[in-house]
Structure 1
Amino acid sequence: MAIVGVGIDVVDISRFDDALRRTPGLVERIFTPAEASRPLASLAARFAAKEALAKALGAPGNLDWHDAEVVSESSGRPLLALRGTVAARATELGATSVHLSLSHDAGIASAMVVLEG
């Protein structure tokens, strides 16, 4: 297997909260209903994951936010579920595995995505 994409993103949780308060509907536009029910720090980490994934995919402008969803295994390990526009781009790049790491601490949320093919 070879790495076909890498992306990383960092989000200031306070600034993210301000953006959510300023922009009605932003939560619904970015997150699936299951993601939207999470606390603020988890939302910020999930936003970072979607941004990191977009970077790993080469940042095409036609990706639908809802086509990438952060889900959790029963152990709590985060995974990215890809569908639609995001799955199509991953397939185009030859990605067969997606690895995700999330973190949030001290007011910062971060995510790293590695695509393997």
Structure 2
Amino acid sequence: MNPVGLGFDLVDLERFRLLYGDSDPDTLCRVFTPHELEVTAAGADRWHRLAARWAVKEAVLKVLGGMQDGMSWTDIELRTAPDGSPSVKLHRGASAKAQSLGITSWLVSISHTDNTVGAVTIGAST
């Protein structure tokens, strides 16, 4: 595996809640995939889990060179493997951009505190 790029993002949970906490469902649907909204729908830690997904999206975008024409937030999806590890699934424009960069796999690390969520992503080629 050869690293192509590294991305990092840190989300302040209070600010994230202020931005999205009172959003109508359509706003969240423009940012998060149906799967992401489904797995974060309930629980006291919902905003931590949504913020983690946001941090991963931002970190992936940094590897891809930023948001570009033909890309949307829902093109980047955080999934959870059966063993609990995070993984990235790309769709549409983000997938095409990753392919053009030679990225064939992603490494993801997420960390939480009471007030912040951080994510690191590495796009790699084989």
Supply the AA of the counterpart residue of 2:52.
A
Distance in 2, Cα, partners of 1:17 & 1:96: 33
Which of 94, 106, 123 is the equivalent residue of 1:98?
A: 106
Q: TM-score, normalised by structure 2?
A: 0.86
Using the aligned pairs only, state the percent identity.
35
Q: How many equivalent residue pairs?
A: 117
Answering whether residue 3 of structure 2 is matched by residue 3 of structure 1, we say yes
CA shift digits 1:14-44 (9 cap, x unpaired): 1100001354333111001221231110100
Supply the AA of the counterpart residue of 2:34.
P
Distance in 1, Cα, partners of 2:50 & 2:8: 16
1:3 partner SS: strand
Contact 1:6 1:56 in 2 (8 A): yes
Which of 37, 41, 64 is the equivalent residue of 2:72?
A: 64
Answering whether residue 26 of structure 2 is matched by residue 18 of structure 1, we say no
Distance in 2, Cα, partners of 1:115 & 1:61: 17
Contact 1:52 1:112 in 2 (8 A): yes
CA shift digits 1:81-112 (9 cap, x unpaired): 11211110000001111111112112101111
Q: TM-score, normalised by structure 1?
A: 0.92
Structure 2 stretches lacking a partner, 5+ long? 41-45
Matches within 5 A, 1:12-91: 12-24=12-24, 25-37=26-38, 38=40, 39-62=46-69, 63-91=71-99
